[in-house]
Amino acid sequence: MSSDAQILQTLRTAGSNGVSGAELSQKLGISRAAVWARIEDLRKLGYEIEASPHAGYRLLSAPDTLHADDLSWRLSKGRKIGRDIRVFEQTSSTNDAIEKLARDGVKEGAVVFAEAQTRGRGRLGRKWISPARKGLWFSVLLRPELPPHAATQLTVASAIAVRNAIEEQTGLKTEIKWPNDILVSGKKVAGILTELSAELDRIKYVLVGIGVDVNLSATDFPAELRTQASSLKIELGKPVARTELAAAILRELDREYCRVLAGDFAAVASDWEQHCATLGQRLVIHLGDRRVCGRAESLGEDGALLLRTEHGHLERIVGGDVMLEK
């Protein structure tokens, strides 16, 4: 753990009692002057830290910025996901940023957050609005020993993880729209973009890009999206702490990913089906030029949506643009 993370952890544990400079100095094995310098740096990052001769240092408030060390200490040791966390102030897209790491041979479980994305993307090449510090825009690098067609399982696992974490942190009732949208009151508050690099029979790496509209206001969305998209803040009526939510999502992702690797996708799929707004619905799905209509019947063992078409066939859907039939 870095000095910053140790200081923050110690201050948080001490709470209103505070910690003396001498204690911090001893605990971290650095001089009191060095402790002071670290505290000054944390203040510059927006941490409000009081220093008094009696109580020592006290953490009054933490800024709404993402801090890699701060996120790290909130996660359990031995985890796969989040063992390497990097926070960028701005990037074109976190999937682009993590792909660079993937190509450089970085291990799986690395996570890249960006406070803002200049060219955030959603599925089907669509733009993803990513204003600074208002959402969680991040990507996770995975290197599962799975064949390429099993990548859909990771999208399903990610969707259930994001859903669980949002419900845990906000109490909002969330649903999943197949394959990768998280809905609150029928409006999209989060999405997942899975990209993969593979040989024909083996995944080289998978990038799971996650976008959560945390504290966006209605005016942050383009007018044409406001009927379909929302944010946790809008739905809850108050802002949501991004760091806590980010840590909760990473914990849930780790849990669900380990279930997939252990061959227990059936359990993931079962959770998913419980929370899925798509199953049982009549859908229109656009697959490139093709249009398929039918009733969403169940989830295939590889995460595909099994659609009972108008003609009575069971069709396996792995993507496309999914809409409710009107």
Q: Using CB under 8 A as the criterion, what x/- string covers residues 243-282 for binding a copy of itself?
A: ----------------------------------------
Give the span between the Cα atoms of 287 and 208, in whole angstroms: 22
Q: Give the count of residues interacting with a copy of itself (CB under 8 A).
A: 26
Contact call for residues 100 and 74 (beta carbons, < 8 A): no
SS3 251: helix
Give the span between the Cα atoms of 48 and 161, in whole angstroms: 32
Give the span between the Cα atoms of 151 and 302, in whole angstroms: 8
Give the span between the Cα atoms of 309 and 22, in whole angstroms: 71
Whole-number Cα distances in Å, 249 to 11, 27, 138, 196, 280: 24, 30, 11, 21, 28
Query: Applying CB under 8 A, which of residues 82, 120, 144, 179 lies at the interface with a copy of itself?
Result: 179
Q: Which of residues 84-123 bind a copy of itself (CB under 8 A)?
A: 123
Give the span between the Cα atoms of 305 and 299, in whole angstroms: 5
Taking CB under 8 A as the rule, does residue 320 contact a copy of itself? yes
The number of CA neighbours under 13 Å toward the Cβ of 169 is: 25
Q: Whole-number minimum distance, CB 39 to a copy of itself, in Å?
A: 43
SS3 87: strand
Taking CB under 8 A as the rule, does residue 306 contact a copy of itself? no
Query: Applying CB under 8 A, which of residues 51, 55, 196, 225 lies at the interface with a copy of itself?
Result: 196
Q: Whole-number minimum distance, CB 99 to a copy of itself, in Å?
A: 9
Q: Whole-number minimum distance, CB 320 to a copy of itself, in Å?
A: 6
Q: Whole-number minimum distance, CB 243 to a copy of itself, in Å?
A: 29
Taking CB under 8 A as the rule, does residue 288 contact a copy of itself? yes
Query: Applying CB under 8 A, which of residues 52, 104, 200, 311 lies at the interface with a copy of itself?
Result: 200
Question: Which one of 19-27, 28-36, 48-56, 196-204 is the stretch in contact with a copy of itself (CB under 8 A)?
Answer: 196-204
Give the span between the Cα atoms of 171 and 217, in whole angstroms: 19
Taking CB under 8 A as the rule, does residue 323 contact a copy of itself? no
Query: Applying CB under 8 A, which of residues 52, 54, 77, 201 lies at the interface with a copy of itself?
Result: 201
Taking CB under 8 A as the rule, does residue 195 contact a copy of itself? yes
Question: Which one of 67-75, 129-137, 200-208, 306-314 is the stretch in contact with a copy of itself (CB under 8 A)?
Answer: 200-208
Whole-number Cα distances in Å, 265 to 61, 261, 303: 41, 8, 9
Instruction: Identify whether 179 is preceded by a cis peptide bond (ω within 30 of 0).
Output: yes
Taking CB under 8 A as the rule, does residue 148 contact a copy of itself? yes
Taking CB under 8 A as the rule, does residue 202 contact a copy of itself? yes
For residues 258, 117, 126, 183, the Cα torsion angle rounded to the nearest 10 degrees is 50
Question: Which one of 60-68, 197-205, 210-218, 238-246 is the stretch in contact with a copy of itself (CB under 8 A)?
Answer: 197-205
Residues near a copy of itself (CB under 8 A) are 123-124, 145, 147-149, 151-152, 155, 179, 193-202, 204, 287-288, 318-320
